[in-house]
Amino acid sequence: MKLYSNEIVFRGHPDKVCDQISDALLDAYMKEDPNSRCGIEVMGGKGKIFITGEVTSTAKVNVESIVNRVLKDIGYEEKYEIINNLGEQSRDIALGTNNEVGGAGDQGIMFGYACNDTEELLPTAMVILQKLSKWYDEARKENKDLLPDGKAQITGYYDDKMKLQKIKYFTISYQNTEKNRSYTDKLIKDKCIEICNQYHIEVENFLINPTGRFEIGGFNGDAGLTGRKIVVDSYHSFARVGGGAFSGKDPSKVDRSAAYKARELAKRYLKKYNLEWCSIQLSYAIGIDKPLAIYIDSDKGNIDVEETLYEECKPKNIIKDLNLHHICYEETARFGHFTK
């Protein structure tokens, strides 16, 4: 047996708040102009929210209204000074992405992963934390002692095939009023046990708010930044992670669209070859449409890449096949971009 850990942050964590603001703004631009080019970055802390990055769009968006709506949805009622520093995307990039070829919006590497651990084709511990995070977001709407910020971590025992056998430490740090801790601690602990029982996983130890107190949170307790949780947003370190973040980027940016495509391909090959796990790497050069390389690995070794896959993985084909001009990106930023 070996010990391995993974983590998630709750929807109200400052970094996740920034991700959701970035994607809510992206949604607003793309709803009015599906060909919008966006790279929106958000930083928040101590009463201020700073929005910068690049947008080229015919859409007219009320930035302040959207930011305030997202904050309210997450559970933050405070008033923030919103600083809008958005500019236009470089025309140099447009030379390679806005033509008929539809080249990649950036260079880089992207990974996709799937495994047979769960019906979601994701690692068991990852799914457990996603379910806890979704539950917490609903629970804090009903229980005013629960506040939006928080994170959770599983340290588990794994066998030689990296299958979770038992949880040694289930660590949860959650923001709360500190008025009914015995009740809220038990509420969370019971929910964790209920979720783990679905997978026949026993928990040896709980560490709940290990410092003893967590009342000050959100942008009052910490700063937030778009794209700072790329491991949480992908596969919780059970698989390799590309260098680029997702939120705030329109689908011409392969950091996002190709990572989504790689996940779809990993699921496809997992089922096609009856694999235990499958990992796929895609790589691109800015302005060039075909991937530079496609690499497929699995528990059964490397898998040959059909030439037709290079055509399928052109950005314009990815956008069409996955309907990426017409999805809600804000939803993907809440609990992880890969939940099914």
Residue at 228: amino acid letter: R
> For 165-183, what is each residue's pLDDT tens digit?
999 999 999 999 999 999 9
- CATH C-level class of 2-9+125-221: alpha beta
Tell me yes or no: is domain 16-97 CATH 3.30.300.10: yes
- Whether the full predicted model's pTM is greater than 0.85, yes or no, is yes
Catalytic residue among 249, 261, 267, 314: 249
Q: Place 90 in a pLDDT band, splitting at 50, 70 and 90.
A: low
Burial class (CB in 10 A: 0-12, 13-18, 19+), 323: exposed
Distance CA 291, CA 283 (A): 6
Catalytic residue among 19, 23, 27, 41: 41
Distance CA 268, CA 238 (A): 19
Catalytic residue among 54, 120, 145, 299: 54
Catalytic residue among 11, 131, 140, 229: 229
- Residue 96's pLDDT is 47
For the chain, give every domain's residue range.
Answer: 2-9+125-221, 16-97, 108-117+225-335
Question: Which three-class secondary structure state does DSSP give residue 158?
Answer: strand
Q: Is 151 a catalytic residue?
A: yes
Q: Is 214 a catalytic residue?
A: yes
Q: Is 137 a catalytic residue?
A: no
**Tokens 């290079």 -> residue:** 310
- Residue 95's pLDDT is 47
Q: Is 161 a catalytic residue?
A: no
Percent of the chain at pLDDT > 70 equals: 96
Question: Which three-class secondary structure state does DSSP give residue 290?
Answer: coil
Q: Is 325 a catalytic residue?
A: no
41 close to 248: Cβ distance less than 8 angstroms: yes
Mean pLDDT within 286-294? 93
**Cα atoms in the Cβ-side hemisphere of radius 13 Å centred on 227:** 17
Q: Is 15 a catalytic residue?
A: yes
80 close to 71: Cβ distance less than 8 angstroms: yes
- Residue 97's pLDDT is 57
Give all strands of the β-sheet with 293-298 in edge-to-edge order: 108-115, 277-284, 293-298
Mean per-residue pLDDT of the chain:
94
Query: Does residue 261 surpass a pLDDT of 60?
Result: yes
Distance CA 305, CA 294 (A): 7
- Residue 98's pLDDT is 55
Catalytic residue among 7, 10, 11, 16: 16
> For 99-128, what is each residue's pLDDT tens digit?
555 678 778 999 999 999 999 999 999 999
Same fold across 16-97 and 108-117+225-335: yes
Assigned CATH for 108-117+225-335: 3.30.300.10
> For 48-71, what is each residue's pLDDT tens digit?
999 999 999 999 999 999 999 999
Tally of CB atoms within 10 A around 308: 8
151 pairs with which residues across the strands?
9, 173
Catalytic residue among 7, 10, 11, 15: 15
Q: Is 229 a catalytic residue?
A: yes
57 close to 33: Cβ distance less than 8 angstroms: yes
49 close to 43: Cβ distance less than 8 angstroms: yes
- Residue 1's pLDDT is 85
Query: Does residue 153 surpass a pLDDT of 90?
Result: yes
